[in-house]
Amino acid sequence: MADFGWLDSRHSFSFGQYFDPDHMGFGPLRVINEDRVAPGGGFPTHPHKDMEIISYVLDGALAHKDSTGVGSIVRAGDVQRMSAGTGVRHSEYNASDRAPAHFLQIWILPEREGLAPGYEQKRFGPQEKRGRLRLIASHDGRDGSLTIHQDVDLYATLLSAGESVSHQVAPGRAAWVQVARGHVMVNGERLEAGDGIAVSEADAIRLEGRDDAEALVFDMAI
């Protein structure tokens, strides 16, 4: 984790000053940071290249600007995808000077280098995720999901206590489950907010809420 005053960031994989050679990512999944940004704080303009960057906003709102000319407000329930490709510069600030912003910053390695930079943003309301796995990003953008340049299906779910969802994992694929809020049982393992687990030797995943919970499931070719 890293605490800069304006930013409290917790890392699932090696990032910045946190380095663990045994946790450099999982398949094409390279970064999952849980970031809390203080009112008025944020990331000043900085560059990225050859990365698919997804922001999943849990609370508050982010003000985004980038060198492609995009400027937007990304609110709780919104999901943003920025393809850095050949190079992009962007800034991301808490859009409020009173309330904190809480979001997951996700980096996925693209299927190839040198893609054109791009941006996409969509909202997925609670009713779409309640008691089910809602596809929010995919390689082909099916079912109204964001399009990402990698063979990854990203699902989100909201679960109440005792509520469960299941997902089949096809041969040659694996999954990563990230808990954003609450407590979730994943194939019998109890996870809490901030925890993640790799699922690489099972043909199905079962998630059960132990209280009001929110989780992401990444289904990917590895």
How confident is the model over 94-115, as pLDDT tens digits? Answer: 999 999 999 999 999 999 999 9
pLDDT at 21: 86
Task: Give the tokens for residue 214.
Answer: 């929110």
Instruction: Give the model's confidence band at 5: pLDDT under 50 very low, under 70 low, under 90 confident, else very high.
Output: confident
For the stretch 51-88, pLDDT in tens is 999 999 999 999 999 999 999 999 999 999 999 999 99
Instruction: Give the model's confidence band at 4: pLDDT under 50 very low, under 70 low, under 90 confident, else very high.
Output: low
Residue environment code for 63-75, b if the CB has 16+ CB neighbours within 10 A, otherwise e: bbebebebeeebe
Q: Has residue 40 got a pLDDT over 90?
A: yes
Average pLDDT taken over every residue of the chain: 95
For the stretch 189-203, pLDDT in tens is 999 999 999 999 889
Q: Pick 122 or 3 by higher pLDDT.
A: 122
Supply the pTM of this predicted model.
Answer: 0.96
Q: Has residue 20 got a pLDDT over 60?
A: yes
Distance CA(122)–CA(140), nearest Å, equals: 15
Q: Has residue 22 got a pLDDT over 70?
A: yes
Distance of CA 131 to the CA centre of its chain: 19
Q: Pick 20 or 4 by higher pLDDT.
A: 20
CB 81 within 8 A of CB 122: no
Measured over the CA atoms of residue 215, residue 56, residue 126 and residue 221, the dihedral's sign is negative
Distance CA(109)–CA(30), nearest Å, equals: 7
